[in-house]
């Protein structure tokens, strides 16, 4: 009976026998070795394919296509397929993502993947760590255990359910509350959000529309912390965190609906169940060691490392596992993926730092030689290859030059490798089918009959529904398609056409010369990114310059640096070295400012206004524009004329031609002329200037010890006409709501690139 191979067909058996011929069998007699390596197949058939691809992405896309074709074209059940890999921790997550996104149902063995790497488990473990560390330091340590990054991660996770827009609204509201309370500049918004999450009673007075989710999560964290403090287990705290949100209900509904979202929900529910099982087993096995010990145990595991809780496998899913775990199992179709030289065979020495694996009955054994390691790896590859009954597919990446190369084991199968140079033309999934049918319906080169046939099939797909009436293919319905409806227009105008158009001086250049869409999204829709560290840097320098100009602080570097250091820690930096570097930059900027300030005083100029708010109404063609803004500094020179200074703390600067027609400086000159409260009635201007505190002047202008200064000449007569034309253009764009994107260097720092039609990454898919 041992001379008969009952699993594999003749063709497949021949390939694996070629591989087995290279495996040492010890001191067996020659005849026994011959009989062992030449079993008789019980049936014909069995195929072996060796496929190589140019990239790992192409490899995974083609594996997904191969599996779906086996299901759809050959009728092979999902449960009769398997994908085997060498190393689960490094390979399985990428394979799972690719196959799941392609619509392949998967069953991944829990002990092939660390539980902490499951996406659904991560927020629960983060929340448990927060409440456990807070409980370990007492109630007063709740805030210390919750840093800004962790708070943001929890709030945007399924436990919190907030998005970036909600966080921005909450952060702005908390900063406004801090400003109203006084006590100096408010901390960064993310720090205030973390504090509010640790103390949810701070959010009671805020609008639930943006603060409700944070308040509920904060109360839930407090409840779990109190449960642990009262002697509760990690499992009980996890249940409070899980059951106290709407996340379980959302997953259950998604799982019932099926489809790709349903498969993802099934995977998340399985992962959460595995987490609760692990917590329960840890409690039974080691007793009440606390939540932090349970977390440390999970962090130490490269695999789940608990086979007692193995769950029954789903029969309607492809098995994804390591070759080690495939021993004793078999499938009709087996794909052995990622067979690369350097990873399979993996000839690195095994074992731990203490090399406990070398301890034998007769003392300390010699470590495995490279030859023994190679034989061990070949046996593992043999195990993977012999799991297939009817079809074996071995895949690898064949890179160019020094890139990844296929394993030597591929040649040992005796099959000529086939190079596949591209991805499949279209994934065999319902989503891809709908996309192709939609494209056909609007393809002008397609025949009318073909377009009608595509539309008919889309209609049939759109009509399919489950027992609850939910559409099975919602993407097939035209109501869900982008680009078919007319652009929406608000019933309420952005600005009242009967009143002057309200704008700010700093926004004019962005609105007219840079990108009007960026202006609208950032200034009107308030969708801009939260204030950056660079903005905080600039705000601090502006405040100190104002204090010197107004006489609140002396023009003394030591005094200004003391003031700077008192608020510096409220600025958020990603690393301590960045904070030190920026503080040195701030010191250099203050030194330049003080030297410039002294030279201005020696020239006869004196400050008459600093950080002065203004509001003026100016003619703008057929419209009027009401300009609001803040003048950094206005001086009266030796001739009694007003001179406007705008401090800049960035690293860039405009060209000389751009300064000559700089909208912000021009509007500031007009504001001084029209607003008597700034420099008196009938004030004559001496021009305006950009003073770059972060940039040194040219050598002929004093060198690096002085700031770079860019002057704009006074507006007189015809030179003032361009300002009126610019104001008219700005007013017209706002009233007509013409906010079209414009590309340029400003795109590099724009927060809206991914949704901008002028950028490749933001262009609509229906264009």
- Model pTM above 0.75: no
Non-local CB neighbours of 477 within 8 Å, separated by 6+ positions: 462, 471
**Mean per-residue pLDDT, 701-721:** 89
Kindly provide the b/e burial profile for residues 666-699, where b requires at least 16 CB atoms within 10 angstroms of the residue's own CB: bbbbbbbbebeebbeeebebbbbbbbbbbbbbee
Q: Which residue has the higher pLDDT, 613 or 482?
A: 613
Question: Is beta strand 642-648 parallel, antiparallel or unpaired with respect to 623-636?
Answer: antiparallel
Q: What is the pLDDT of residue 309?
A: 43
Q: Tell whether the model's pLDDT for residue 239 goes beyond 60.
A: yes
Q: Tell whether the model's pLDDT for residue 212 goes beyond 50.
A: yes
Per-residue model confidence as pLDDT tens digits over 572-614: 788 889 999 999 999 999 999 999 999 999 999 999 999 999 9
**Mean per-residue pLDDT, 220-237:** 92
Q: What is the pLDDT of residue 250?
A: 92
Query: 51-65, 206-220, 473-487, 615-629: which has the minimum mean pLDDT?
Result: 473-487
Chain-centroid distance, C-alpha 358? 44
How far apart (Å, rounded) are the C-alpha atoms in residues 696 and 689?
15
Q: What is the pLDDT of residue 35?
A: 62
Kindly provide the b/e burial profile for residues 139-177, where b requires at least 16 CB atoms within 10 angstroms of the residue's own CB: eeebbebbebebbbbbbbbbbbbbeeebbbbbbbbbbee
How far apart (Å, rounded) are the C-alpha atoms in residues 647 and 293?
54
Q: What is the pLDDT of residue 331?
A: 95
Q: What is the pLDDT of residue 355?
A: 63
Q: Tell whether the model's pLDDT for residue 647 goes beyond 90.
A: yes
Q: What is the pLDDT of residue 247?
A: 93
Q: What is the pLDDT of residue 1?
A: 43
Q: Tell whether the model's pLDDT for residue 32 goes beyond 80.
A: no
Q: Which residue has the higher pLDDT, 585 or 20?
A: 585
Q: Give the highest mean pLDDT range of 26-40, 82-96, 641-655.
A: 641-655
Q: Specify whether domain 116-301 bears CATH 1.10.1740.10.
A: no
Q: Tell whether the model's pLDDT for residue 175 goes beyond 70.
A: yes
Domain 500-530+603-695+704-767 -> CATH class: alpha beta
Q: What is the pLDDT of residue 97?
A: 87
Per-residue model confidence as pLDDT tens digits over 381-428: 999 999 999 999 999 999 887 778 999 999 888 889 999 998 888 888
How far apart (Å, rounded) are the C-alpha atoms in residues 206 and 175?
12
How far apart (Å, rounded) are the C-alpha atoms in residues 540 and 647?
12
Non-local CB neighbours of 564 within 8 Å, separated by 6+ positions: 540, 544, 583, 586, 587, 590
The answer to whether 43-113+309-419 and 116-301 have equal CATH topology is: no
709: left (phi over 0), alpha (psi -120 to 50) or beta: beta
CB 458, CB 437: distance < 8 Å: yes
CB 19, CB 378: distance < 8 Å: yes
Q: What is the pLDDT of residue 306?
A: 47
User: pLDDT band for position 29 (50/70/90)?
Assistant: low
Q: What is the pLDDT of residue 530?
A: 66
**Mean per-residue pLDDT, 113-142:** 78
Query: 155-164, 175-184, 378-387, 648-657: which has the minimum mean pLDDT?
Result: 175-184
Of 214, 169, 204, 209, nearest to 189 by C-alpha is 169
Q: What is the pLDDT of residue 732?
A: 92
Cis peptide before 345 (omega within 30 of 0): yes
Query: 108-122, 325-339, 534-548, 568-582: which has the minimum mean pLDDT?
Result: 108-122
Chain-centroid distance, C-alpha 83? 29
Q: Tell whether the model's pLDDT for residue 98 goes beyond 60.
A: yes
Q: Tell whether the model's pLDDT for residue 620 goes beyond 80.
A: yes
CB 47, CB 11: distance < 8 Å: yes
Q: What is the pLDDT of residue 683?
A: 80
The first and second tokens of residue 22, run together, are: 């290279």
Percent of the chain with pLDDT over 90: 45
How far apart (Å, rounded) are the C-alpha atoms in residues 674 and 723?
14
User: pLDDT band for position 666 (50/70/90)?
Assistant: very high
Q: What is the pLDDT of residue 158?
A: 94
Q: What is the pLDDT of residue 721?
A: 85
Per-residue model confidence as pLDDT tens digits over 260-307: 677 788 888 888 988 998 888 888 776 556 788 888 888 876 554 444
Chain-centroid distance, C-alpha 310? 33
How far apart (Å, rounded) are the C-alpha atoms in residues 58 and 69?
16
Non-local CB neighbours of 751 within 8 Å, separated by 6+ positions: 521, 522, 527, 528, 529
User: pLDDT band for position 734 (50/70/90)?
Assistant: very high
- How high is the mean pLDDT of the chain? 86
CB 222, CB 200: distance < 8 Å: yes
**Mean per-residue pLDDT, 117-145:** 77
Question: Is beta strand 47-53 parallel, antiparallel or unpaired with respect to 40-41?
Answer: unpaired
CB 426, CB 432: distance < 8 Å: yes
CB 591, CB 555: distance < 8 Å: no
Which one-letter DSSP state was computed for residue 471? B
Non-local CB neighbours of 198 within 8 Å, separated by 6+ positions: 134, 142, 143, 145, 146, 151, 218, 221
Q: What is the pLDDT of residue 553?
A: 93
Q: Which residue has the higher pLDDT, 597 or 6?
A: 597
Three-class DSSP category at 51: strand
Task: Return the H-helix or E-strand segment holding 657.
Answer: helix 656-660
How far apart (Å, rounded) are the C-alpha atoms in residues 427 and 406?
25
Per-residue model confidence as pLDDT tens digits over 483-537: 777 777 788 888 888 999 999 887 888 888 889 999 999 888 888 776 667 678 8
Q: Which fold has domain 43-113+309-419?
A: Rossmann fold (3.40.50)
Q: Spell out the domain ranges in the chain.
A: 43-113+309-419, 116-301, 430-480, 500-530+603-695+704-767, 533-596
């Amino acid at each position: 009976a041992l001379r008969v191979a009952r699993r594999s067909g003749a063709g497949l058996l021949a390939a694996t026998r070629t591989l087995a011929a290279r495996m040492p069998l010890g001191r067996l007699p020659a005849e026994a070795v011959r009989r062992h390596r030449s079993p008789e197949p019980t049936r014909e058939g069995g195929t072996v394919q060796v496929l190589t691809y140019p990239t790992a992405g192409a490899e995974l896309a083609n594996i997904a296509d191969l599996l779906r074709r086996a299901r759809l074209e050959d009728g092979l059940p999902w449960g009769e397929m398997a994908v085997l890999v060498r190393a689960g921790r490094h390979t399985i997550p990428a394979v799972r993502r690719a196959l799941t996104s392609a619509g392949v149902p998967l069953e991944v063995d829990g002990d092939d993947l660390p539980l902490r790497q499951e996406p659904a488990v991560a927020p629960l473990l983060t929340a448990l760590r927060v409440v456990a560390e807070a409980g370990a330091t007492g109630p007063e340590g709740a805030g210390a255990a919750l840093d800004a990054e962790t708070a943001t991660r929890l709030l945007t996770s399924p436990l919190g359910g907030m998005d970036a827009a909600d966080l921005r609204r909450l952060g702005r509201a908390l900063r406004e509350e801090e400003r109203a309370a006084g006590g100096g500049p408010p901390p960064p918004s993310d720090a205030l959000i973390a504090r509010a999450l640790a103390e949810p009673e701070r959010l009671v007075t805020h609008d639930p529309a943006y603060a409700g989710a944070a308040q509920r999560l904060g109360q839930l964290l407090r409840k779990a912390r109190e449960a642990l403090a009262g002697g509760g287990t990690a499992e009980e705290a996890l249940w409070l965190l899980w059951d106290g949100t709407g996340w379980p209900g959302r997953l259950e509904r998604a799982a019932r609906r099926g489809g790709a979202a349903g498969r993802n929900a099934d995977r998340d529910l399985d992962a959460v169940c595995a987490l609760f099982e692990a917590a329960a087993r840890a409690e039974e096995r080691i007793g009440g060691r606390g939540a932090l010990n349970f977390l440390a145990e999970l962090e130490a595991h490269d695999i789940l490392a608990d086979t007692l809780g193995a769950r029954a496998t789903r029969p309607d899913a492809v098995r994804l596992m390591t070759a080690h775990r495939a021993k004793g199992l078999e499938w009709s179709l087996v794909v052995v993926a990622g067979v690369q030289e350097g990873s399979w065979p993996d000839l690195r020495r095994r074992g731990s730092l203490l090399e406990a694996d070398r301890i034998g009955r007769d003392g300390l054994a010699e470590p495995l030689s490279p030859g023994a390691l190679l034989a061990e790896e070949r046996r593992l590859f043999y195990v993977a290859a012999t799991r297939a009954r009817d079809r074996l597919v071995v895949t690898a990446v064949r890179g160019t030059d020094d890139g990844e190369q296929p394993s030597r084991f591929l040649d040992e199968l005796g099959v000529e490798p086939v190079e596949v140079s591209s991805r499949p033309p279209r994934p065999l999934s319902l989503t891809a089918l709908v996309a192709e049918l939609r494209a056909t319906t609007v393809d002008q080169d397609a025949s009318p009959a073909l377009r009608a046939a595509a539309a008919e099939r889309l209609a049939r797909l759109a009509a399919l529904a489950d027992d609850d009436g939910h559409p099975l293919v919602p993407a097939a319905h035209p109501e869900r398609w982008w680009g078919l409806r007319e652009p929406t227009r608000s019933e309420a105008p952005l600005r009242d056409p009967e009143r002057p158009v309200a704008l700010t001086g700093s926004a004019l250049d962005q609105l007219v010369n840079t990108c009007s869409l960026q202006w609208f999204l950032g200034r009107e829709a308030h969708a801009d990114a939260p204030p950056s560290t660079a903005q905080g840097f600039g705000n601090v320098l502006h405040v100190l310059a104002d204090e010197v100009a107004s006489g609140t602080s002396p023009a003394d570097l030591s005094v200004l640096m003391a003031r700077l250091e008192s608020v510096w820690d409220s600025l958020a930096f990603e690393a301590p070295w960045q904070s030190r570097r920026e503080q040195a930059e701030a010191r250099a900027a203050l030194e330049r400012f003080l030297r410039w300030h002294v030279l201005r005083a020696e020239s006869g100029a004196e400050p008459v206004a600093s950080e002065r708010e203004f509001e003026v109404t100016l003619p703008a063609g057929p419209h009027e524009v009401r300009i609001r803004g803040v003048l950094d500094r206005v001086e009266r020179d030796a001739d009694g004329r007003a001179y406007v200074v705008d401090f800049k703390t960035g690293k860039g600067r405009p060209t000389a031609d751009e300064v000559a027609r700089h909208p912000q400086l021009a509007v500031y000159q007009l504001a001084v002329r029209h607003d008597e409260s700034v420099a008196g009635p009938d004030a004559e201007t001496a021009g305006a200037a950009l003073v770059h505190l972060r940039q040194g002047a040219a050598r002929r202008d004093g060198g690096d010890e002085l700031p770079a200064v860019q002057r704009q000449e006074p507006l007189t007569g015809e030179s003032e006409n361009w300002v009126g034309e610019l104001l008219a253009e700005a007013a017209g764009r706002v009233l007509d709501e013409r906010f079209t994107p414009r590309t340029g260097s400003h795109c590099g720092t724009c927060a809206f690139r991914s949704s901008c039609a002028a950028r490749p990454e933001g262009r609509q898919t229906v264009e």
